[in-house]
Amino acid sequence: MATLTQKFKNFQKNIGKQIVHCPSCQRSLRVPVKPRKTLEISCPDCPTRFQIRFDSPLAQVFGRQKGVGIKKHLQAMGQNFQSLPTTGKVRVLMFLLVLAMSVDLLLGLLNTESDNMPGTEKQTERELKALPSNSNSPYNI
């Protein structure tokens, strides 16, 4: 069993790298991750040279092309999402879920603060209920 120090050293060695496989001999190769850059990889076991590109799943789905209308852009987003591998789809959906929860939390906080602000309907109702009641007044609540 690996010690904690060995695991940490392996983690440090592998950070910023990803394992890819040679398309010819299937050898595992550790390559640096360079987002939006195309790397040319040479396999040390065979004469194969191949290119690899690391793109964020979010950039693949939400990337916008200039000069494209919104309808075509939305159609392209749907097609791009369908073409993602399962892990990419999960990442995109998790991002959207966290985004929706954050917006909901923010709107909830803003709504709570506006309920306590002077001049709002709820604040006015509370002030009217706090007034002493006069049974002869036609304005009783």
> What does the pLDDT average to over 88-114?
86
pTM summary value: 0.41
- What span, in angstroms and rounded, lies between the C-alpha atoms of 10 and 1? 14
- What span, in angstroms and rounded, lies between the C-alpha atoms of 80 and 59? 10
Whether the pLDDT of residue 119 is over 80: the answer is no
Among 22-36, 73-87, 114-128, which stretch is predicted with the lowest mean pLDDT? Answer: 114-128
Which positions ≥6 away from 20 have C-beta within 8 Å?
28, 29, 31, 41, 52
pLDDT greater at residue 115 or residue 96: 96
- What span, in angstroms and rounded, lies between the C-alpha atoms of 81 and 35? 19
Model pLDDT, residue 82: 84
